[in-house]
Amino acid sequence: MDPSRTLAKDLPGTVVFDLDGTLVDTAPDLTAALNHALAALGRPPVPAEDVRHMVGHGARRLLERGLAASGETTPDLVEAGVPHFLAFYADHIADGSRPYPGVEAALDALAAAGCRLAICTNKPQALADALVAALGWSGRFAATIGFDAVPRPKPDPAHLAAAVAAAGGDMADLVFVGDSITDTDTARAAGVPVVAVAFGFSDRPVAELGADIVIDDYAGLLPALRQLAA
């Protein structure tokens, strides 16, 4: 954040975002990578719409769910599939992934208001950085913290705290924005407000996530943040 910029009094000082399903619709590329790994293991593909509800807990959990959709899943099968998944995904990180409508306008508005912005994701750090760079977002966030950059990832609140600290923010003046029960559980454990997006990768109805506010699109983000800041 520019030191000369004054934070708008009606917004939180720091806003931290989940990445997949919150800022970016990564389902096309995650689906392609999952199905590549499943094919290497002799399994049939999983439809993209099903993959949307499997994301959010890291590559191994995604592979577990993908394998379970077509039969038996074992730790050995998951471990055998992980290298196929990660290598393919790294090579196709943003073939079909796109920011959700209104994301960049909302990020611009928050930055102009003086908010610190960060990402807290259960993506591996290298892949999170690669996706952010591929989208041309490298200068938008004060910090991006992947699951392997901390001892215990989300829903452990220390992951969120690490993102806030890396951004130079304050846990007492923070709102977290996510799309899944992992995100809302993280926020609750950290004792901070949380906004849930209704269009992400949740494996359950968004109304069941326990968020303070649910938004249907990014036009609703700043009003929601102002409501929570008030």
Whole-angstrom Cα distance, residue 114 to residue 124?
Answer: 28
Is the CB of residue 211 less than 8 Å from the CB of residue 188? no
Span 35-67, pLDDT tens digits: 999 999 999 999 888 888 887 677 888 999 999
Span 88-147, pLDDT tens digits: 999 999 999 999 999 999 999 999 999 999 999 999 999 999 999 999 998 999 999 999
**Token pair 């609703």 is at which residue?**
220
Q: Which one of the listed residues 2, 10, 18, 29 is annotated catalytic?
A: 18
Q: Is 10 a catalytic residue?
A: no
Whole-angstrom Cα distance, residue 182 to residue 156?
Answer: 9
Domains recognised in the chain with CATH numbers = 14-25+98-229 (3.40.50.1000), 27-91 (1.10.150.240)
Q: What is the pTM of this model?
A: 0.92
Whole-angstrom Cα distance, residue 207 to residue 36?
Answer: 33
**Token pair 């959990």 is at which residue?**
61
